[in-house]
Structure 1
Amino acid sequence: MKKVHIITGGSSGIGLECAKKFDEGIVVITGRNEQKLIRATEELKQAGINAVYKQGDVSKPENLKELFEYASTLGEVCTVVNSAGVSGVSEELRQIFEIDLLGTENLAEMAKDYLTAGGVVILLASMMGHVIPPNPAYDTYLTYPSTEGAVDALIEFSQHRPDVAYNFSKRGVHLIAKRFAWEYGQKGFRILSLSPGIIMTPMSVQALEAHPDQMNFMKSVTPAGRFGEPEDIANMVHFLASEKASFITGTDILVDGGLTLKLVEMMNSAEPEE
């Protein structure tokens, strides 16, 4: 049977770049905007990728199940890359947690019923998940976000700020990958998260144009001396999905040019002395 690679959020940005790397088997991209999916599928086909699309909102369990059922009719599901999500500029905090956190938990829970032996789930997170320090007060909610009252509690922990809610949700993605690692391993699967730094997607280009001083400062404190490109993430995703990465699971891979080191250092130095 043919290998099937599912890329959520695969119609643009990092997700689309990831899809271009899987030139063996069938790539299924998914997203909410059908016109974008049609254009992306055509772009992938022109690049020599055997691509199809399935429209849907993967934050909704019924759409997620339809996606996995459809992909299973095409062959053996061996890779799931979860690139779908919302940014920290959303004003709706509950939406951030429901899509970025609950949606991720639902995907991790459901994927294990469809993966073939040796399959892998790669959850895209963010370097910003690393600026939230470990704390049992909220880590339990982040690890088990479907627990009753978890989202309400996390909204309070994030001080009703969308940017902080985004950071919390991405730490949650790290913890969800760790939570499922043992169960996945017992089934012969792997699961891990990948945290990009500042990547020059259309959204980041807009941020550079709107806030050049802030963005250029971020570049100046990045040890690699540059921002990332979508291909930097796609190359790592393709490696992590391969047999060469078969001993990597239950962890987060940080691909940020070293920027998080400086961010954490600056945050720690800004904390008031006791």
Structure 2
Amino acid sequence: MSSRINTIMMENSDVIIKNWLEIVSEKRKNDYTSSISEELFQSTNREFVNVIFKSLDQEGLTKELEDFSERLVNLGWPLSYLTDGLQTFRRVAIDFILSQGEQIDTDYFSRILDKVDSWVDPIINKLVNEYSGSWEHTVSLQRVALQELSAPLIPVMRDITIMPLIGTIDTERAKLIMENLLDGVIKHNAEVVLIDITGVPVVDTMVAHHIIQAAEAVRLIGATCILVGIRPEIAQTIVNLGIDLGKFPTKSSLRKGFEKALELTDREIVRHEDRNQMIEDIMESLEKE
């Protein structure tokens, strides 16, 4: 029985492929593949069903099907394209075998189902595992990249560093901010750190608590923390929440914060005109002597 089903499938592969392509093409009208060019869609389908038949012939997941699925993953095609295609192939194969004119009884139908399932299910399971592994690897790489960018500490001048924060701050990210902040202050021998929250959309009690903790930790290792980028709505929220930010300087903009940092490190901004005037005064004083 099993060999007869194999023979029917292989000898009628062209008809089964044609039926499969018709169903998949019809379903395309209602899914994401409608945005893909007709030429690419049809060529991908033909390749897909051919590698399926090769897997059936070799009774397992072939290198061709593995390469095909990996390429689709890299191109951004969802797993549902592969699993839906295999489920459609299951239905087409069963319908075709049942149409071959033999008397259909429960035992015969059950054996057909078992045989086709033994073809399709291992392939689906293997593809899901392969796809999940690739996805988890991609997500892991993205998470590492985001962590590296989520709390950078930038030395902008001797003794002065800036940490610009963008996006939502949760507990995990707050821990990363604290670690980068303390390591960076020591590494760059910074006296002043500006934490810029211009890009933080919401400052609630939890976010403020994390910022206060970070500023206090910076103070304990001998540096000063200045919180900059406090917009009016954030200032109002902080007041309404009763949060005390009086332990360290706060400024509305990065420019004002940087001016404060210069002051704390015994520097000042001298305008070009003022500098020229100062030089002239010094020269005039020397001439009088």
TM-score bracket for this pair, using the shorter chain length: under 0.3
Flag the structure with larger Rg: 2
Normalized per residue, the structure richer in helix is 2
**TM-score normalised by the chain length of structure 1:** 0.25
Q: Which structure carries more relative contact order (alpha carbon 8 Å, separation 6+)?
A: 1
**TM-score normalised by the chain length of structure 2:** 0.24
Normalized per residue, the structure richer in strand is 1
